Structure 1
Amino acid sequence: MRRIIVMLTVSLAFASPLFAGQSSDTPILVIGASFENGKTPINDALAAPVGGVAVNLGSYLSLGDALVRTEHLNGMVINEAQGGATTFDRAACLSDSCLPIYWQGYEKQLRKALMRVAVPDPANPQQPLYYNAKYLVVGTANDCLHADAFGVPQGESTPCGTAQLNAYLDRLLAVGRQAQALGITPVYYAYPKYEDLDLPLAKQLYGISWIMDEQSFNEMRDLHRTRLAAELPGALVVDAWKHFQNIGDGLHPKPKSTSDAAKRIADAINNHMKHGK
């Protein structure tokens, strides 16, 4: 078996440009939440948060799927995002209790994505020689957004203050730094504008105890923008949701909005490949 792995690794590394680490022929890695993947995780016992239902019962175009479709990229995407995810592992919770059903956080999603593209070292097959990826899309998470984003019963959760918002952003930036340390460029996008959403409607439709108000959302959006610019040089930050329209649930984007966002992200990646910025 070891000999087979070594032979495969040598062939991957030297036989074809597809596996030679060239940006144009490598997949885009994606981690995130429901903007990136409309499906919630379902475990081996067929248990899942919110019963495993997909956003809009599957009639939804996620950003991960739109990145596959866009003609501006090569169609290769490794998408480990989970609908409903936060940056940390958490249980799904009702108003007064939590269930033994879990979402995976961003660090775990990143580790899974890296496993998909790891080329093992012939001298030590348990260690990667390099990763067949150059870009990682990091979506916005559910952290602080609503009552079921804390891993505690919704009745015990309270809206985030500035310290908690910054803690969320610490975790969001941390996966970008991990990617950069491996030679992978993280790609973030700005939050949609509050007025393009309808969070009170989302609260009503999804039956959650509370949802973030306008002041807190705008604080989170501003912190996200300013901290990315100040603390993660080399990351791409794309204004992907310039013309955001929701599907009628107050929260998730219409297919046209998602397709436009994917094109803007693709353009940013292509420009970075050509010019390094």
Structure 2
Amino acid sequence: MTFLKKAKLLFMLTALGTVTPTLANDKSEEAPLLLIGASFANATMPYFDNLQAPLGGIAINGGRYLSLGNALIRERRLSGHLINEGQAGATTFDRLTCFPGPECVGPGWEGYEKQLTKALSRVKTAQGNYTAKYIVIIRGNDCNHPDAFGIPMAETSECSIEQMHQYTDTFVSVAKRALAAGITPIFSSPPKYENIDWETLRQRFNWPWIVSKENYEQFADIRLSRLRQEVPEALFLNIWKGFTPMDDGLHPDRKTMQRAAKRIAKAIKRDQKHQSSTEY
């Protein structure tokens, strides 16, 4: 149905007294959506006390990048109420920045536990409840490159199975914390390895290594299989289907990000409809 047809139908329903204009268009009371993650979620590096920030506080592509947070705000199916605590460059754990090296320095990034704590604090009521109903948890930089460990880059190598499980522990932990607050976690499969130009990314920062296809896919399998088993109440999507990066080889281009936001919005509306039907 086209927008014009929808407008005509709404006008007719309003004229018949079936729908009031205020209730039909007002989204001011819709629950906020929470978002945590890294640069796919938020385009900017975090600033801390005394204007200290990793990598000088830069934004992805000099600010010419539509992050998932901004795409979700623009998504017409949603209200635009978004609490985005993601940090460009983040991993699941707190860490220092080690690029360009050789030493690691602060202030670095906050991990997902702190991001979630901040997000929950934004939506907590005086009665101790939370106004949010869903949280999108986007995969970070864990295991992707040598500046994702918080130790000198020369001492790093591809993630071990133990490290993959350790990082997945954090995903499980934040998801269960969200559920305990009455908030449904939303996860996605990562982009396909071959859809990212890893060599362009490696050369841009002159990193000694970049994640291999085997390591990337193994981590994805461990993370998603454990989440499905340990947090079955979560919603599992594939928001990055048809992923196309920007010129930097890594970050989603505008159309990819808009599609991702639409898929999240549709999943939320579908889940809300399902929950409403099961209440009767």
TM-score, normalised with respect to structure 2 = 0.85
* Alignment partner of 2:94 out of 79, 82, 89: 89
Question: What are the equivalent positions in structure 2 for 1:234-249 lying under 5 Å apart?
Answer: 234-249=233-248
Q: CA deviation at 1:23?
A: 11
Q: CA deviation at 1:200?
A: 1.7
Query: Per the alignment, do residues 167 and 23 of structure 1 end up closer, same or farther by CA in structure 2, a change over 3 Å counting?
Result: farther
Moved more, 90-99 or 176-185: 90-99
Cα distance in 2 for partners of 1:197, 1:252 equals 8
Structure 2, unmatched stretches of 5+, are 1-26
Question: What are the equivalent positions in structure 2 for 1:1-277 lying under 5 Å apart?
Answer: 25-94=30-99, 95-121=101-127, 129-276=128-275
**Which structure has the larger Rg?**
2
Letter in 2 for 1:99: V
1:11 is aligned to none
1:80-132: CA deviations, max 9, x gaps?
A: 000000111111113320112220110100110111111123xxxxxxx2011
Cα distance in 2 for partners of 1:174, 1:106 equals 9
TM-score, normalised with respect to structure 1 = 0.86
Q: CA deviation at 1:208?
A: 2.8
Letter in 1 for 2:237: V
| SS across alignment from 2:107 | strand
Tell me, yes or no, if the aligned pair for 1:190 and 1:239 is still in contact at 8 Å.
yes
Q: After the TM superposition, list the runs of 4 or more consecutive aligned residues in structure 1 that deviate by more than 6 angstroms.
A: none
Tell me, yes or no, if the aligned pair for 1:144 and 1:159 is still in contact at 8 Å.
yes
Cα distance in 2 for partners of 1:198, 1:24 equals 42
Letter in 2 for 1:113: A
Letter in 1 for 2:110: Q
- RMSD value over aligned CA atoms? 1.7
Among the aligned pairs, what percent are the same residue? 46
| SS across alignment from 1:120 | coil
Cα distance in 2 for partners of 1:81, 1:157 equals 25
Letter in 1 for 2:191: P
Number of equivalenced pairs: 249
Letter in 1 for 2:164: L
Letter in 1 for 2:74: R
Q: CA deviation at 1:48?
A: 1.6
Instruction: From the two aligned structures, give the one with the greater strand fraction.
Output: 1
Letter in 2 for 1:273: Q
Q: CA deviation at 1:24?
A: 6.9
| SS across alignment from 1:118 | coil
Cα distance in 1 for partners of 2:159, 2:53 equals 26
Cα distance in 2 for partners of 1:37, 1:252 equals 11
